[in-house]
Amino acid sequence: MKHYLSLKDIDSLDNWVEEARDLKEDPRKHKNLGSDKTIGLLFFNNSLRTRLSTQKAAMNLGLDVIVMNFGSEGWALEYADGTVMDQGTSEHIKEAAQVISQYCDIVAIRAFAGLQNKEEDEAEKVLNGFKKYASVPTVNMESSVGHPLQALADAITLAEQNTKARPKVVLSWAPHPKALPHAVANSFVEMMHLQDADFVITHPEGYELNPEITKSTTIEYDQKKACENADFIYVKNWSSYSDYGKVLNQDKNWTMTPEKVGNAKFMHCLPVRRNMVVADAVLDGDQSLVIEQANNRTYAAQIVLKKILEQ
Amino acid sequence: MKHYLSLKDIDSLDNWVEEARDLKEDPRKHKNLGSDKTIGLLFFNNSLRTRLSTQKAAMNLGLDVIVMNFGSEGWALEYADGTVMDQGTSEHIKEAAQVISQYCDIVAIRAFAGLQNKEEDEAEKVLNGFKKYASVPTVNMESSVGHPLQALADAITLAEQNTKARPKVVLSWAPHPKALPHAVANSFVEMMHLQDADFVITHPEGYELNPEITKSTTIEYDQKKACENADFIYVKNWSSYSDYGKVLNQDKNWTMTPEKVGNAKFMHCLPVRRNMVVADAVLDGDQSLVIEQANNRTYAAQIVLKKILEQ
Amino acid sequence: MKHYLSLKDIDSLDNWVEEARDLKEDPRKHKNLGSDKTIGLLFFNNSLRTRLSTQKAAMNLGLDVIVMNFGSEGWALEYADGTVMDQGTSEHIKEAAQVISQYCDIVAIRAFAGLQNKEEDEAEKVLNGFKKYASVPTVNMESSVGHPLQALADAITLAEQNTKARPKVVLSWAPHPKALPHAVANSFVEMMHLQDADFVITHPEGYELNPEITKSTTIEYDQKKACENADFIYVKNWSSYSDYGKVLNQDKNWTMTPEKVGNAKFMHCLPVRRNMVVADAVLDGDQSLVIEQANNRTYAAQIVLKKILEQ
């Protein structure tokens, strides 16, 4: 059974991006592919782009859509094996996942990192619980450690905008008042590893991402130097990975500015805090791709659902 | 681009009312008009009639519908320009509106007055933010200062029920325990200005509506006198406009009774507090039009969406 | 007008079960039956199975579906007659039910027992309010005193699994940390009274269900003895009925175990607390029917909606 849990579930990124761009030309072309089938979108966390674009993608394919805010509308789930459930949790993931599989042909899950406990977050108990116990394909709508629908949308955007054989792409950390997960950055890095590019990550010391994900990617601690001659600069905040979930600083010298951007295209997954993560002048300028990235979320979700429906 | 933000967006009230009454005869007549198109209904406040009737109207036209409770399901929005977003707001209306425009062909917004600050409410930051930054038509599902879908439904109801060339129509304030916005009353007044009628507003002193809206409408402070020989009495509570957002009194002498109604038809937008705003005997009697007003909400929304889809 | 408020609304359980099993063979067979019609699902309480299976059933029949979490999205309802509504409630059930009937061809309601006041719960103010004031058929998605969609699904499951002319069926209480309503147990008892079976209820003293519902059903206070030679054991917690809404004990000697189950099939409506209500070994074993019970919720809801649409 084909899931979409991480970038690893893409057999050929180039082909998927190409097919997604075809879908973008005629989004309702396959409007009967999902006929008489239902997708369940289960949100354990808030969402704007993912919520709307995944619904839109599903409707483009003719799927019936059920949306559920699991936290407020359902029951508190238990994930541990063998527990005596005499406390706060009302239903085990074993039953929940099997039951939802009775009503949905595809289930999509959003469940963020709690950022309190690295091992717990990396265990991906919600997503992996559904993968393990559901009898239908599972789609990751952002989990503790990855956001592969965002990364696929970003790959589409890069493909649309890139004019070079080997562009220089920079992933830059930026300051933020709250502790944010690593999911978007992780998946962007994994996606870049599937591209031919001069890829550089820049962040203050202490903000190194999981080395098992970054592998041998160049890390440049001098943001200005990292951004020199970049073709694309992807900005994102994340909390510390080594000092897990902590905000080590909010240094506004790392806010992205027109000067640092230079002639590069600017990318961000949104939502973005203006003048903290990035200056108004960048977001409001012609080099910003953020709205097109959001638009491509639809076609990223749509190619994923199409692949699942066609298996 | 055609929006529906206020009554000013109606080119001919008579024609719209007539077309809406045609739709009511055969609601699914244009069931393919919205094919392959999506409407997003964004609620920043609670809703029963607006939520259900607008969905129903959209489905009657074959639109795909996405409903989102923005407050609880999305991100806290920033509306000010140039802010350093290092506080509670996570996303700027600029991005939110542009992003939603990628997924929806029409966006409808409900965002009530806060009643704390007149200037802020009158700036209509949510509705105007979407109008300004969205690239798709925007529909007002009740904003700080207007509820034009309600007023259009009321115009349909009046047209169905009126038998006179120039009926007497009274808008009467009534007591209520909480501070309520002026939106319904404002739009009703604006709608009446598009009608040939003997139109009178009655309320205690201090409850004058915005004079820029009421203009030269007769105000009669004696409720009984105002109601004499009325054909239609529209009852609604609102808070003070001059002493902005305050409840100046809850005088139950202003509760609408069968005696005051006389032979008039009774109207209210609902929800209504029984025996506070209006006596049971009025609501439960044959002269009450409140359920038909609610029914007409569907056809008001449907004619608005139809006009937008046909542009 | 045909409602589905309790098991009493089934004219022939055998026929309904048979028709439901036919629907299960080809769920989309009647996909045009609900064309141009709308069902409103109103939730006053949380839900997983009911929410998803009823939506699925409605979509299988081609109905448009509107889902509303009434508590958080709508207005606080008043149920008493003659009240001066100057307190916390904003809208009377009279208006709400009539208004919703303007937009929906069928309305389905979930409103649990509060377990604070027996008379109030048994008055079923929400469900009966809709039955009384709505002008469209009303479906019970679990009310204070019954859960007839669950019981109908259970009847389908029993019919699929039973091989005997007169099976032994046991309804066993089990411990739970919270006070739970009697609705599922009540409707299961009522459903069993429509079956030819050796039906036994077992629970600790003090947990007797409403005697007007159990009537002459055998009650056996020794759980092990009750379970001997059972073909089906249906486990469920409920709070005390005589000492209304109280948790009298949480005696884990009543937890269902493989030893007590013996060769019987195990049933539970879910959600279930593992190792409190029932041991892991039972739930994870081949004799558990809980997932199939959940699956049959779709076809129970679908036969109910089909009967209503065909009237």
DSSP alpha helices (H): ranges in C111-257? 118-123, 125-133, 148-161, 183-192, 211-214, 223-227
Strand residue runs (E) in chain A: 38-43, 64-69, 77-78, 91-92, 106-110, 138-140, 168-173, 198-202, 218-219, 232-236, 265-267
Q: Measure the CA–CA gap between C71 and C76, rounded to whole angstroms.
A: 7
Q: How far, in Å, CA of B293 to CA of B70, rounded? A: 27
Residue of C nearest to B255 (CA): C84
Contact between residue C83 and residue B274 where contact means Cβ atoms under 8 Å apart: yes
Q: Smallest Cβ distance to B83: which of A46, A47, A274?
A: A274
A145 confidence band (pLDDT: 50, 70, 90): very high
B101/chain A closest Cα distance in angstroms: 9
Residue A151 has pLDDT above 80, yes or no: yes
Percent of chain B with pLDDT over 90: 99
C10 pLDDT above the threshold of 80: yes
C245 pLDDT band, cuts 50/70/90, is very high
Shortest distance between the Cα of C93 and any Cα of chain B, in A, equals 10
B19-69 pLDDT tens trace: 999 999 999 999 999 999 999 999 999 999 999 999 999 999 999 999 999
Question: Cβ(A10)–Cβ(A16) under 8 Å?
Answer: yes
Mutation target to probe the B interface, by most B beta carbons within 10 A, among C39, C59, C73 is: C73
| CA B16/CA B299 separation, integer angstroms | 10
Question: Is C274 in contact with A102 (Cβ distance < 8 A)?
Answer: no
Residue B1 pLDDT exceeds 80:
no
Q: Would you place residue B71 in the very low, low, confident or very high pLDDT band (cuts 50, 70, 90)? A: confident
Find the CB nearest A86 among C51, C69, C276.
C276
Per the listing, tokens 């005629």 go with A26
The residue of chain C with its CA nearest to that of A81 is C280
Mean pLDDT score, B140-148: 98
Mean pLDDT, chain B, integer? 97
What is the structure's pLDDT at C1?
A: 74
Q: Which residue of B has its CA nearest to C91?
A: B271
Q: A94 pLDDT band (50/70/90 cuts)?
A: very high
Strand bridging mode A77-78 / A91-92: parallel
Exposure of B91 by Cβ count < 10 A (0-12 exposed, 13-18 middle, 19+ buried)?
A: buried
Number of alpha carbons in the 13 Å side-chain half-sphere of residue B20:
30
Cα–Cα distance measured from residue C183 to residue C124, given in angstroms and rounded to the nearest whole number: 11
Q: Are A143 and A45 in contact (CB under 8 A)?
A: no
Q: What is the mean pLDDT of chain A?
A: 97
Interface of C with A (CB under 8 A): 28, 31, 43, 46-49, 51-53, 55-56, 59, 69, 72, 177, 250, 270-276, 280, 283-284, 290-291, 294-295, 297-298
Q: What is the mean pLDDT of residues A255-271?
A: 98
pLDDT at A234: 98
Instruction: Provide the b/e sequence for A263-295 (b: ≥16 CB within 10 Å).
Output: ebbbbbbbbbbbbbbbbbebbeeebbbbbbbbb
- Tell me which residue in C68, C73, C86 faces B276 most closely, judged by beta carbons: C86
Instruction: Give the confidence band of C165 by pLDDT, cuts at 50, 70, 90.
Output: very high
Chain-chain contact of C270 with A94 (C-beta, under 8 angstroms): no
Q: What pLDDT does C71 receive?
A: 87
- Range A290-293, long-range pairs (CB < 8 A, 24+ positions): A290/A266, A290/B95, A291/B95, A291/B98, A291/B99, A291/B102, A292/A157, A292/A160, A292/A161, A293/A153, A293/A154, A293/A157, A293/A267, A293/A268, A293/A269
pLDDT of residue B179: 98
- pLDDT category at A258 given cuts 50, 70, 90 is very high
> Among partner residues A73, A82, A83, which is closest to C51 by beta-carbon distance?
A73
The domains of chain C, with CATH numbers, are 7-147+297-310 (3.40.50.1370), 150-293 (3.40.50.1370)
pLDDT band at A1 (very low <50, low <70, confident <90, very high): confident
In this predicted structure, the answer to whether residue A148 has a pLDDT above a threshold of 80 is yes
Q: How high is the pLDDT of residue A142? A: 98
- CB–CB of C49 and A94 under 8 A? no
Cβ C99–B294 below 8 Å, yes or no?
Answer: yes
> Nearest C-alpha of chain B: how many angstroms from A280?
7
If you average pLDDT over residues C289-299, what whole number do you get?
A: 98
Which whole number is the average pLDDT over C229-255?
Answer: 98
Helices (H), A74-202: 93-103, 118-123, 125-133, 148-161, 183-192
Chain B neighbors of C85, CB-CB under 8 A:
273-276
Instruction: Indicate yes or no: CB of C291 within 8 angstroms of CB of A102.
Output: yes
Instruction: Using pLDDT thresholds of 50, 70 and 90, give the confidence band for residue A108.
Output: very high
Give the pair of three-digit tokens for residue A173: 């950390």
Q: What is the ipTM score, two decimals?
A: 0.97
For C56, nearest residue in chain A (alpha carbons): A103
- Check: CB of residue B169 under 8 Å from CB of residue B230: yes
Q: What does the block give as tokens for A127?
A: 């997503």
HSE at residue B70, side-chain half, CA atoms within 13 A, is 21
**Amino acid identity, residue C122?**
E
